[in-house]
Amino acid sequence: MGIIKNIKEEIRVIRERDPAIHSSMEVFLYPSFKVMLHYRIAHRLYTQGHYFWARWVSQRGVRKTGIEIHPGAQIGSGFFIDHGNGVIIGETAIVGNNVTLYQGVTLGGTGKEHGKRHPTIGDNVMISAGAKVLGSFTIGENSKIGAGSVVLDEVPPNSTVVGVPGRVVKRNNQNFPREELDQVNLPDPVKEDIATLQHENSALTNRLIELETEVKKLRKEHTRNEA
């Protein structure tokens, strides 16, 4: 894709996903736009074996935006980083089409792997603010990762993940994350577990009260019989 097509694509994606934007000219001020221009150039240099110059271009992008994308990472079309400061994408990360990341997201490694060390992100995935996806595994398409989650294992397609460590709390998402960019109204597994425990505790308490009542009745009957 040529530079003009890249710019048109970035304008379309940012205007589609950021309600704060009011004009196409604002796109040129966005960190996501700036870093992707640097990334496209750096990635081309990297694939041609010009590793030093790829890194040089990449680091210029980091200094301007606070977003670090290794030039070796593979990123599809329709990629968008909202705000973006603190986002890190590792060398062997693979990002599909129509993926949205928020500030503070890390697509990193565990430090124990060799070769493919970073995650593969499927199409139409949303990763919320501060989430960390660490390791060489796949986040399935149409999935949502909740804010602050730490994901260490593979995520099936159409799933919602929250927590530390991250776990799947919902499957079969009805809408693509890019159509429902909601970082807040996600299932809360801790709250659900507490509610379940409260329900079970109430049921157990009621059962104990019933048993105590039955025992009192039996004692009264036994006393009458002895009399």
- Residue 134 DSSP SS3: strand
Q: What CA–CA distance (Å, rounded) separates 153 from 96?
A: 18
Q: Which residue has the higher pLDDT, 8 or 71?
A: 71
Given a cut of 80, whether residue 6 has pLDDT beyond it is no
Length of the chain: 227
Segment holding 202, helix H or strand E: helix 189-226
> What pLDDT score does 14 carry?
82
82: which strand partners? 102
Spell out a b/e string for 46-56, using b for 16 or more CB atoms within 10 Å of the CB, else e.
Answer: beeeeeeebbe
pLDDT tens column, 93-130: 999 999 999 999 999 988 777 889 999 999 999 999 99
pLDDT computed for residue 140 by the predictor: 93
- Residue of 75 and 26 predicted with greater confidence: 75
Q: Tell the burial category of 149 from Cβ atoms under 10 Å away from its Cβ (0-12, 13-18, 19+).
A: buried
Tell me the pLDDT tens digit for each residue of 38-77: 999 999 999 999 999 999 999 999 999 999 999 999 999 8
Select, from the ranges 150-154, 197-201, 212-216, the one with the highest average predicted confidence (pLDDT): 150-154
Only one residue has tokens 């009264």, namely: 220
If you average pLDDT over residues 179-189, what whole number do you get?
A: 59
Question: What's the pTM value of the predicted model, to 2 decimals?
Answer: 0.74
Which has more confidence, 28 or 43?
A: 43
- Of 18-27, 154-163, 175-184, the one with minimum mean pLDDT is 175-184
How many angstroms from the chain centroid is the CA of residue 223?
67
The token pair at 98 is: 């129509």
pLDDT at 180: 55
Q: How many other C-beta atoms are found inside a 10 Å radius of the C-beta of residue 106?
A: 22
State whether residue 146 is helix, strand or coil: coil
Of residues 120, 121, 107, 125, the one with CA closest to residue 180: 125
In which band, very low, low, confident or very high, does the pLDDT at 2 lie, cut at 50, 70 and 90? low
Residues 138-179 pLDDT 10s: 999 999 999 999 999 999 999 999 988 888 887 776 655 555
**d(Cα 96, Cα 183) in Å, to the nearest integer?**
20
CA distance 76 to 101: 13
